[in-house]
Amino acid sequence: MRIPAHSVCTAIRDDIVAGVYERGGRLTEELLARRYGVSRVPVREALRTLEAEGFVVTRRHAGACVAEPTEQEAADLLEVRTLLEPLAAARAAQRRTDAHLKVLRGLVRLGQERSRNGRGEDLRPLDGWFHETLTQASGSPGLSALLTQLRHKVAWMYEVEPPAAPAETWSEHAAIVDAVTRGDADRARTLTAAHAARTAAAHRPRPARGGGRVRDPQHAVNTVGLRN
């Protein structure tokens, strides 16, 4: 079975974001193919995609390497994300489906419950799912793809301080969902802009690690769901 290049691309991107590959470190096709249990063909295609996304650069005499974004580049990307998220929320107010609203309300209820119970460690993935669903509700595939890529990059470049008052965060989420439910695009945009600005202040540049080495054992690409 040939593993799709997009699955290999996702695996490499996830490892870059997680810091498995150090910034500036070489990414050789042979080692990547061995690590993920695939041939060099999907690895080569994945590296081309990741270079287009800005996670990889090609250097003379070195080949493919993990990119080394500057602090200014990271700050620019964070700012772009904070500008686009309000646009996605405004469009969601105009284009959301009942299914989107059901998921958003469920995430808000779960987030508020876990905030009250002090289960802060469970809130970060919930927050990510909330914003991903809100973006999908915008009905704009191009905007969704761009924001997803920006979120990957921001997660790679920044550490985020946990909110001191997580209940406040989920109250803001609830207010955004209320505006989206009522079809109030202006209010959804305004609330999301304020929320994005507040959360952006909690981002701290992630220090680059030296060495350019792989930091955990080899693993194969997850092929679940690829057999059919």
Segment 43-93, tens digit of pLDDT = 999 999 999 999 999 998 889 999 999 999 999 999 999 999 999 999 999
Q: Could you tell me the fold of the domain covering 71-205?
A: Four Helix Bundle (Hemerythrin (Met), subunit A) (1.20.120)
- For 90, the token pair is 């405004």
In which residue ranges of the chain is CATH 1.10.10.10 found?
1-68+208-228
Q: Which residues contact 92 (CB under 8 A, 6 or more apart)?
A: 100, 134, 135, 137, 138, 139, 180, 188
In which residue ranges of the chain is CATH 1.20.120.530 found?
71-205
- For 161, the token pair is 């301080």
Mean pLDDT of 139-149: 95
Task: Domain 1-68+208-228: state its class.
Answer: mainly alpha
Q: How far apart are CA 60 and CA 223, in angstroms?
A: 34
Could you tell me which of 15, 8, 13 has the C-alpha nearest to residue 216?
A: 15
